[in-house]
Amino acid sequence: MGESAPIYEELTKKAEELGKSYIRLGFDDETTATSFARLTLATKDTKKSQELLAVSADLARSKGIPLEQSTQAMIMAMQGSTKVLKQMGIELDDNATKEQVLAAIKAQTAGQAEQYSQTAQGANEALAVTMDNIKESLGDRLLPMITQIAIKFSEFLNSEKFNNFANAVGAGVDMVVNFITNLGNSIQPTIEALGKFFQPMIDGLMAFINENMPVFQATWTVLQAVINFGLGFINGLWNTVWPSLLATFKGIWDMIVGAFKVAWGIFEVLINIGLGIVTGNWSKAWEGMKKGFQDIFNGLKSFVQGWWDSIVGFFRGGLNGIVGTLNGFINGINKASGGTVNIKTIPSFDNGGWVNQDGMAYVHAGEYVLSRNMLNGSQQIGAPVTNNNQPITIMANISNELDLNSLGYQLAWITRNSR
């Protein structure tokens, strides 16, 4: 027992070191330590176990399996059973020795754990393991403190001082309740007298309201119609004009961004010319100048596009402003009528995206427009053909004129995309 204690401490220390080092590869430190202990128990050799642990890690990442599973496969392989490894896709000779089996696994999976740790998913797993360890460490440190606080708080609740305080509070609450009850009993006659005094006035007011109810109802109807008209007018004007204003503002913003890009590109070119003169490294200076010229080009492109979008948005906003004013009156009348009148609004220029009402749109050459029937599934959407070497096959059941039109649309769409 005296000789085994140092060996156990050494193995425990080595397992902890390996667990911490494998966190970088995204493996849980406790899982790594357990796998090392199992390999050591199977091989009776700590150095060999470290080698097998590294191979197990590569095997786990190569096959996308947990470290425990790859470790068990390694233990079985070292014991002469390679069935599990073959099921994983590791190519092995039936008569291979342990050394040949280990060499074959290394040849087919070497470096997989390290490569996986360089990916975003591997980095996330390493971070998750680290955060779990931090939580466990904080829990181990804070739990005794929380336990002591809970014990002290429990002792306080059961103490004589707290009981005296609770009794005093209870007596105070009883005094307040008794005071309110006595006050209510004392002022009840006064309240009853006031009720008798004001009751005739209340009865007269209710009689006046009942007699003039038709007038009040008519007034409310008119007021409601005015409110509905105002809300309808604002809604119609806003829905028509706001998209154009937004496009104009976006164009102006693109112009500002483009101007800044041009200025920055000019600054980059001048700086790199200066660096080339000072350092003599014109190759590096030219690379910086090319980036500056690219920024100038992108800035000019953004500026011109923003200028054009703002001009289009301005004129569109003017037209939509007139249409929006008219639609505002139409919506106001429709709302004020309470549904008895339903005048159609005037179409206006709309932006891309989902359109919830009828309107006009500018369609560019080469665009494909989905109809309402296509969106609700009652009309088939033509699929583009990208393989130019294959014949076009169209399956269709033609029953009426609508199907013929649909077939024509599909033929045009497929023919265009098969060029």
Residues 259-270 pLDDT 10s: 888 888 898 888
Taking a C-beta distance cutoff of 8 angstroms, is the pair 75, 67 a contact? no
CA 419 to chain centre: 39
Residues 51-81 pLDDT 10s: 899 999 998 988 889 989 999 988 998 888 8
Residues 115-132 pLDDT 10s: 888 888 877 787 777 777
**Looking at residue 235, what is its pLDDT?**
67
Our CA dihedral for 240, 243, 247, 248, rounded to 10 degrees, sits at: 50
Coil, helix or strand for 246?
A: helix
Cα–Cα distance, 358 to 330 (Å, whole number): 15
**Looking at residue 136, what is its pLDDT?**
66
**Looking at residue 309, what is its pLDDT?**
76
Cα–Cα distance, 95 to 292 (Å, whole number): 65
The mean pLDDT value of the chain amounts to 77
pTM exceeds 0.85: no
**Looking at residue 348, what is its pLDDT?**
60
Residues 214-248 pLDDT 10s: 887 877 777 777 777 676 667 666 666 666 677 77
Q: What is the DSSP letter of 308?
A: H
Cα–Cα distance, 224 to 104 (Å, whole number): 85
Cα–Cα distance, 111 to 160 (Å, whole number): 69
Average the pLDDT over 309-314 and give the result: 73
Q: Is the per-residue pLDDT at 404 higher than 50?
A: yes
**Looking at residue 342, what is its pLDDT?**
76
Residue found under tokens 């989902």? 354
What's the start-to-end Cα distance of the chain, in Å? 84
Cα–Cα distance, 200 to 208 (Å, whole number): 12
Buried b (16+ CB within 10 A) or exposed e, 268-296: bbeebbebbeeeeeeeebeebbeebeebb
Residues 133-151 pLDDT 10s: 676 666 666 667 767 776 7
| Number of CB atoms found within 10 A of residue 129's CB | 22
Residues 169-206 pLDDT 10s: 888 888 888 888 888 788 888 888 888 888 888 888 88
Q: Is the per-residue pLDDT at 22 higher than 80?
A: yes
Instruction: Please report, as a single letter, which amino acid is at residue 326.
Output: L
Q: Is the per-residue pLDDT at 353 higher than 60?
A: no
236 or 24: whose pLDDT is higher?
24
Q: Is the per-residue pLDDT at 295 higher than 50?
A: yes
DSSP states along 267-296: HHHHHHHHHHHHH--HHHHHHHHHHHHHHH
Our CA dihedral for 16, 18, 19, 20, rounded to 10 degrees, sits at: 90
Cα–Cα distance, 52 to 296 (Å, whole number): 58
HSE of 407, CA atoms in CB hemisphere, 13 A = 12
* Tokens, residue 325: 């004013």
Our CA dihedral for 77, 83, 88, 89, rounded to 10 degrees, sits at: 100
Query: How would you class 302 by CB atoms within 10 Å of its CB: exposed for 0-12, middle for 13-18, buried for 19 or more?
Result: buried
**Looking at residue 54, what is its pLDDT?**
92
**Looking at residue 172, what is its pLDDT?**
86
Cα–Cα distance, 53 to 74 (Å, whole number): 9
**Looking at residue 407, what is its pLDDT?**
61
Cα–Cα distance, 194 to 255 (Å, whole number): 73
Cα–Cα distance, 303 to 258 (Å, whole number): 4
Taking a C-beta distance cutoff of 8 angstroms, is the pair 318, 293 a contact? no
Average the pLDDT over 159-175 and give the result: 84
Instruction: Please report, as a single letter, which amino acid is at residue 272.
Output: N
